[in-house]
């Protein structure tokens, strides 16, 4: 079941960025550019999690937080402006579950959202581990097990492989991969992907005949899986 996230943020750019990332991971989002709208929107949409900027026009984040807390136990993650000091104890007292300081890494934001959701027992359902013939991609231990041997793989490579292998046989263009793995805000040469694919292939070549990192000429790349094989994810 998809989970709703209410994004309370007045900075349009940041709000939009958050929205894109969250929707990419399967969340449904609601937006609120100020405190009053946040409260209205909150009671209307009953989200499963709230991302709350502290600096807001109208009622500020603290007020919004304490209003929400008056009749809900929904997890709240606070976002503090750059340089602004955040009093963790006050945050706790107000009922925040976690906080993130701007400027933030989207990876960090997603990790915290997943952590909070997990804590509250809403499974976010994202598989952290993929297993194929002689291949285990484990994002929890952040390692690759190839043919029974642990293999060290740099983060970008591992994330790229994980992403491809999460949707076997689906072709991704280089730009999709840059968006998905590097992030929406990444601007770089799409040839970069080629190099990472090459590095992955070195580590994976000759291991199994059941799957392969395949080039789709003129389009992009895919993790190709033999028909009889099933994906197993934990």
Partner DNA sequence: CCCATGTGTAATATAACTGTAATATTGGAA
Partner DNA sequence: TTCCAATATTACAGTTATATTACACATGGG
Give residues in contact with DNA (CB under 7 A): 152, 154-157, 174, 182, 186, 188-189, 191-192, 194-198, 201, 215-220
Per 3-state DSSP, the chain is made up of helix, strand and coil in percentages (nearest 5) of: 40, 25, 40
189/230 with CB nearer DNA: 189
As measured in angstroms, the least distance from the Cβ of 57 to a copy of itself is 28
173/192 with CB nearer a copy of itself: 173
126/216 with CB nearer a copy of itself: 216
SS3 24: helix
Q: Which of 216, 171, 221 is nearest to 195 (CA)?
A: 221
19/222 with CB nearer a copy of itself: 222
Q: Which residues contact 200 (CB under 8 A, 6 or more apart)?
A: 153, 157, 160, 161, 213
Question: Phi first, then psi: what are they for 226, rounded to 5°?
Answer: -60, 150
As measured in angstroms, the least distance from the Cβ of 139 to DNA is 14
The one of a copy of itself, DNA, none whose footprint includes residue 171, by CB under 5 to 8 A per kind, is a copy of itself
As measured in angstroms, the least distance from the Cβ of 170 to a copy of itself is 6
Tokens 């976010």 sit at which residue? 124
Crossing angle, helix 155-166 and helix 191-204, to 10 degrees? 90
As measured in angstroms, the least distance from the Cβ of 140 to DNA is 17
Residues in touch with a copy of itself (CB under 8 A)? 88-89, 92, 108, 111, 140-143, 148, 150, 154-155, 169-171, 173, 175, 184-187, 216-219, 222, 224, 227
The one of a copy of itself, DNA, none whose footprint includes residue 109, by CB under 5 to 8 A per kind, is none
The one of a copy of itself, DNA, none whose footprint includes residue 191, by CB under 5 to 8 A per kind, is DNA
Q: Which phi-psi region, left, alpha or beta, contains residue 7 (left: φ > 0; alpha: ψ -120 to 50)?
A: beta
Q: Which helix (H) or strand (E) holds 211?
A: strand 211-216
Quick check: 15 and 9 in contact, CB under 8 A?
yes
């Amino acid at each position: 079941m998809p989970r709703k996230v209410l994004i309370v943020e007045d900075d349009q750019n940041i709000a939009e960025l958050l929205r894109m990332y969250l929707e990419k991971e399967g969340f449904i989002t609601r937006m609120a550019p100020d405190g009053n709208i946040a409260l209205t929107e909150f009671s209307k949409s009953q989200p499963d999690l709230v991302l709350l900027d502290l600096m807001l026009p109208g009622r500020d984040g603290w007020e919004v937080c304490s209003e929400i807390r008056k009749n809900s136990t929904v997890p709240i993650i606070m976002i503090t402006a750059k340089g602004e000091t955040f009093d963790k104890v006050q945050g706790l007292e107000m009922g925040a579950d976690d906080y993130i300081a701007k400027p933030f890494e989207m990876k960090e934001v997603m990790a915290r959202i997943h952590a909070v959701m997990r804590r509250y027992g809403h499974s976010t359902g994202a598989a952290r581990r993929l297993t194929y013939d002689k291949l285990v991609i484990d994002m929890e231990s952040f390692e690759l097990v190839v043919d029974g041997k642990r293999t060290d793989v740099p983060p970008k490579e591992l994330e790229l492989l994980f992403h491809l292998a999460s949707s076997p046989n689906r072709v991704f263009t280089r730009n999709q991969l840059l968006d998905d793995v590097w992030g929406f805000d990444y601007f770089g040469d799409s040839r970069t992907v080629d190099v990472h694919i090459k590095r992955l292939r070195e580590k994976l070549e000759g291991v199994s005949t059941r799957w392969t990192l395949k080039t789709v000429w003129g389009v992009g790349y895919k993790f190709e899986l033999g028909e009889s094989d099933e994906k197993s994810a934990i």
